Structure 1
Amino acid sequence: MLAVAPIAGAAYAQSAPSAAAVAAAQDPRDADYRLGAGDKLRVIVFGEPSLSGEFEVSGSGMVALPLVGQIKALGLSTSEFQNGFAAALRDGYIKDPRVSVEVLNYRPFYILGEVTKPGEYPYSNGLTVMKAVATANGFTYRADTRKVFIKRANENTEQQITLDAGTLVLPGDIIRVKERYF
């Protein structure tokens, strides 16, 4: 999701969002997306290329940024993180910083249980459970293909979900495919 402060003229064209960023911004889940460990961000400070760049949210939920140091990102939306960084820059560094933040790579999802290659895989927008299973090279012959269990990144318990082609996977989710009983 890209949030761009109003910028006039040719300078705006330099930080215009890509087609992929526009598609991600239109994804309704992104409005509520909360940053987590493993997310990779593109941070742009207009007129300050030395403060701009690509940064990763650390395991502790912090992002190390030039000039201001560590800033909390865990659990924040991109706009909340953007506002926090701008406030830190205003606190003695830049008079009126214009900051934009975009998620480049979401944290991975995990799939385990009765799939051919369980493990960690990169998340992509529009990922469904069926696509996640395909990414893991399909079900094993023992898999229960009627239901899966999903533990969302921000929840403590897993939910049993009837397998449906439209069931969405979110960044950081853990999908468990159970063994079927004859």
Structure 2
Amino acid sequence: MPLRVLVIIFLSLYTSQIQAVEEQFVIGVGDRIMVTVYNEPDLTLRARIDKSGMVNFPLLGPLSVSNKTPKQLANELEQKLLDGYMVTPLVSVLIEEYRPFYVNGEVRSPGGYPFSLELTVDQAIAIAGGLKDRASSSGWYIIRGEDKTRLEVQKDTKILPGDIITIKASLF
């Protein structure tokens, strides 16, 4: 078996586990991504996504990356590189650092915190120092996504990058 095929198989297996978890996440403002093209070190890109949602990719120029999964972005880059630049590009996109999540309301230390995989609302509250005495036990919600969708949540609800968790005060 040629070395190229073995490397492709290895990279596919290695990144498939990471990408399986990441597929539920879309790239957004504040994320840090790494883009690699197999056997093309000059096309490696590391960038933090700014408010424009764009990155300047070698050969291709400015590209919109916001609101795409890593797999969608990799497929798009492969198609663009096929158009006159490369014969068989193999692109990998990883989110190296996720944008923070935020906790506000009736917690001891409201603010922004680094996101980690499999984080729940209960864990996020613990990271924010725990609930204050007047915190509601049920008035919790998340503001999620660019459309600012408001979702009622429970302790075991999973957090996504960029979520804003609000803990309301109890009346009694």
Normalising TM by the smaller chain, what interval? 0.7 to 0.9
- CA offset at residue 12 of structure 1? 5.6
Confirm whether residue 171 of structure 1 aligns to residue 161 of structure 2.
yes
Q: Percent identity?
A: 35
Query: In 1, Cα distance between the equivalents of 2:129 and 2:115?
Result: 16
Confirm whether residue 52 of structure 1 aligns to residue 44 of structure 2.
yes
Tell me if the contact between 2:144 and 2:162 (Cα under 8 Å) persists in the aligned partners.
yes
Give the unaligned 5+ runs of structure 1. 1-6
Render the CA deviation track for 1:110-155: whole Å, top value 9, x for unaligned. 1111111111111111000011111111112221133311111244
State how many pairs are aligned. 169
Render the CA deviation track for 1:35-93: whole Å, top value 9, x for unaligned. 21112212110110111142222211112222222111111121221122122222332
Cα distance change, pair 115–85 in 1 and its aligned pair in 2 (3 A): same
Q: Which runs of 4+ in 1 moved over 3 A?
A: 10-16, 24-27
Confirm whether residue 17 of structure 1 aligns to residue 14 of structure 2.
yes
Select the residue among 79, 102, 119 that pairs with 1:110.
102
Tell me if the contact between 2:23 and 2:71 (Cα under 8 Å) persists in the aligned partners.
no
Give the unaligned 5+ runs of structure 2. none
Tell me if the contact between 2:144 and 2:163 (Cα under 8 Å) persists in the aligned partners.
yes
Tell me if the contact between 1:41 and 1:105 (Cα under 8 Å) persists in the aligned partners.
yes
Instruction: Give SS of 2:104's match.
Output: strand
Tell me if the contact between 1:148 and 1:160 (Cα under 8 Å) persists in the aligned partners.
yes
Aligned counterpart, 1:66: 58
Aligned counterpart, 2:123: 131
Query: In 2, Cα distance between the equivalents of 1:26 and 1:54?
Result: 21
Confirm whether residue 8 of structure 1 aligns to residue 10 of structure 2.
no
Q: TM-score, normalised by structure 2?
A: 0.85
**Amino acid in the other structure paired with 2:119:** L
Q: Higher strand fraction: Structure 1 or Structure 2?
A: 2
Query: In 2, Cα distance between the equivalents of 1:79 and 1:25?
Result: 7
Q: RMSD of the TM alignment (CA)?
A: 2.3
Tell me if the contact between 2:37 and 2:44 (Cα under 8 Å) persists in the aligned partners.
yes
Tell me if the contact between 1:142 and 1:180 (Cα under 8 Å) persists in the aligned partners.
yes
Tell me if the contact between 2:139 and 2:169 (Cα under 8 Å) persists in the aligned partners.
no
Tell me if the contact between 2:140 and 2:167 (Cα under 8 Å) persists in the aligned partners.
yes
Tell me if the contact between 2:19 and 2:71 (Cα under 8 Å) persists in the aligned partners.
no
Q: TM-score, normalised by structure 1?
A: 0.81
